[in-house]
Amino acid sequence: MKVLITGATGLVGKALTELLLQNGIKINYLTTSKNKIQYQPNYQGFFWDPASGIIDESCLLGVSAIINLAGSSIGKRWTSQNKQEIVESRILSANLLFTTLRNNPHQVKQVISASAIGIYPDSRKNYYTEDFTDFNDSFLSNVVVKWEDAAHQFERLQIKVCKLRIGLVLSDKDGALPKIIKPIKLGIGAPFGDGNQMQSWIHIHDLANMFLFALQHKLSGTYNAVAPNPVPNKELSAMIADILDKPFFLPGIPKIIMRLLLGEMHTLLYESQNVSSQKISSMGFHFQYKSIHKALQQLLLK
């Protein structure tokens, strides 16, 4: 089997690429940087520039599935320019893939698209399943709705579409965890606000395995990519402090402080999303890291 991956050099892409190669799956990957193009027997790079509509169409040769992880990071200040980039990087990449498939012979039968639990509104009460559709008008929710709409268009080409709504990805290499750890290591860790907002997380190994599972089982539809046991923010932070043997006693950080530091993006730290993993589990997927304590121990005690 050969797959085409976008976003292969990102946090999720790196973990997934390693896993796919270990399972004997060949990879073509698209990159906007010509100096990142490699030519190896099972791992070959191709240039594209979604903003300009440029793509090396030979990337489709022998490919039976596409895994689309492309998208600018939401973890930067939400200036008008960055907001536009966050949206367009997702929409333009999907649109270019769609146009390329429509206009060229190919053997692609499935597209697996990254998505995000940011589509769900901030709530201390709701328990979100994939059937929920009462989305709000927040910036992040609007981004994800447009992202998923862009993924749906592949169905017009009789291609299966699978969307994985990704939660807080825990990895020791990059992403949110190193940023959460930093103040705790300095002895100044604290929850955000009252710390009762639910954080639906997933270990990077389980996330990579979920993409592989969706590929091997030819899944279609929407699935929450979160572990079975979400935790409150204060429990997550306190557990990290305990594992690292650091104090954790400071009061919660008020919203106004983080708003001054981060701007509108501060909402990511305070919003609560209690998200269900039942649907993917019912398909036969098994989590290696169901417990936040087990996940953190594996990541922090290497």
pLDDT of residue 258: 87
Rounded to the nearest 10°, the torsion over CA 47, 143, 230, 14 is 10
The region of weakest confidence among 51-55, 125-129, 173-177, 201-205 is 173-177
Cα–Cα distance measured from residue 20 to residue 25, given in angstroms and rounded to the nearest whole number: 5
Model confidence at 36, in pLDDT bands (50, 70, 90)? Answer: confident
Whether 247 maps to a domain, the answer reads: no
Number of domains in the chain: 1
- Over residues 147-173, mean pLDDT: 97
Whether 144 maps to a domain, the answer reads: yes
pLDDT of residue 174: 86
Q: Are 6 and 29 in contact (CB under 8 A)?
A: yes
Whether 55 maps to a domain, the answer reads: yes
Whether 70 maps to a domain, the answer reads: yes
The region of weakest confidence among 51-60, 67-76, 149-158, 162-171 is 67-76
Q: Which domain holds residue 111?
A: 2-169+201-227+276-288
pLDDT of residue 197: 96
pLDDT at 144 over 80: yes
pLDDT at 62 over 80: yes
Whether 176 maps to a domain, the answer reads: no
pLDDT of residue 76: 85
Cα–Cα distance measured from residue 292 to residue 45, given in angstroms and rounded to the nearest whole number: 36
pLDDT at 302 over 80: no
pLDDT tens across 49-58, in order?
999 999 999 9
Residue 219: CATH number of its domain: 3.40.50.720
Whether 193 maps to a domain, the answer reads: no
Average pLDDT, the chain: 95
How many angstroms separate the Cα of 278 from the Cα of each of 69, 200, 224?
23, 13, 8
Whether 259 maps to a domain, the answer reads: no
pLDDT at 108 over 80: yes
- Over residues 264-279, mean pLDDT: 93
pLDDT of residue 251: 87
Share above pLDDT 70 across residues of the chain, in percent, rounded to a whole number: 100
- Reading phi first (left if > 0) and then psi (alpha if -120 to 50, else beta), residue 7 is in left
Whether 79 maps to a domain, the answer reads: yes
